[in-house]
Amino acid sequence: MPSTTPIARADAGAFGTAAAAASACALGIRRNLANWPVLMGRALFYLVAMLVLSALWDKVAAQRLPGTLAHLLPPDGLTLYIGVTEWIALSIAAIHLRLEDDIRFGMLEPHLLRPKPYLVQKFAEAMGDSLGRLIGIGAAALVALALSGRALPPAVAFVYIAILGVFGTAVGMLMMTLVGLSAFWVRRVLPPYLIMQKALFLLGGLFAPISLYPAWFYHAAVVTPFAATLFLAGDQAIAPSLAGFARGLIAQGVWIAVLSGLVALVWRGGLRKVLREGV
């Protein structure tokens, strides 16, 4: 049919896939912002969590404990760091649960017959959800920071944090995608999710910078994708610098490439299993 041939060619090409993914991402952003009551609830939870955590870490930082690196922290630096890491952690969409449902309940097969790649569409849509959350929670964080009277980092730090925060969220989303794809083998993704979550807490430095760890542990943690998700963006709230920003961007780019390749391999392995053994 001559009238459909150009569309089919566009769908089959990389440009068509990228355009469809961009549309799915935009849909995720609009849906998240349109569902503003839920987004406000998430932002309120963020503010309550920050109220508790900032009170705790203000007490700890004020003690300037001997034998620690607490004396090197700038005023309010620790609270700002935690604000950034919580902002990213709460913005990562639960793509692992969506993948688990589709794989466990046999809803994957109909999607495989469609011209758009299933996994790319799912990831792009979930990334749109995450970007919507980054916008909503980030706006709440900036308002709260302005009202708190705390010392602000340099203006350029906000640019560094915003860019590293988006790419850090992408790294986190790829790890959650791997967790979701584990449903091909383990059916329920809760155990691998809990392992991934705890590693993110510890190696990503959710509640305290990994630079406060012993040197050997810091060097082991900073090269992981968990640090690329949270720590590299949060560190710019404490010690913003162009060199640190560039290192963070390179590390995140490397991990996005590595994890994307790993996701593709796991996806193909899972599909082979489904085609061979069924759901």
Tens digits of residue pLDDT in 234-253: 999 988 999 999 999 999 99
pLDDT at 89 over 70: yes
Q: Which of 144, 150, 161 is CA-nearest to residue 58?
A: 150
Residues whose CB is less than 8 angstroms from the CB of residue 238 and which lie 6 or more positions away in sequence, other chains included? 73, 74, 77, 78, 80, 81, 209
Report how far residue 222's alpha carbon sits from residue 105's, in angstroms, rounded to the nearest whole number: 38
Q: Which segment of 53-57, 69-73, 111-115, 212-216 scores lowest on mean pLDDT?
A: 69-73
Positive or negative, the Cα torsion across 164, 38, 103, 107? negative
Position 70 scores a pLDDT of 61
Position 222 scores a pLDDT of 94
Query: What integer is the mean pLDDT of 164-190?
Result: 95
Enter the pTM of the model. 0.87
* Banded pLDDT at 12 (limits 50, 70, 90): low
71, 154 contact by CB (below 8 A)? no
Look up residue 198 and give its two tokens: 């705890």
Matching residue, tokens 């109909």: 110
Report how far residue 27's alpha carbon sits from residue 125's, in angstroms, rounded to the nearest whole number: 7
Positive or negative, the Cα torsion across 29, 35, 40, 45? negative
Tens digits of residue pLDDT in 25-47: 999 899 888 888 899 999 999 99
- Rounded mean pLDDT of the chain? 87
Tens digits of residue pLDDT in 93-152: 999 999 999 998 877 777 777 778 899 999 999 999 999 999 999 999 999 888 888 878
* Banded pLDDT at 230 (limits 50, 70, 90): very high
Positive or negative, the Cα torsion across 49, 210, 56, 141? negative
Report how far residue 177's alpha carbon sits from residue 65's, in angstroms, rounded to the nearest whole number: 40
CB atoms within 10 A of CB 125: 22
Question: How many residues are given for the chain?
Answer: 279
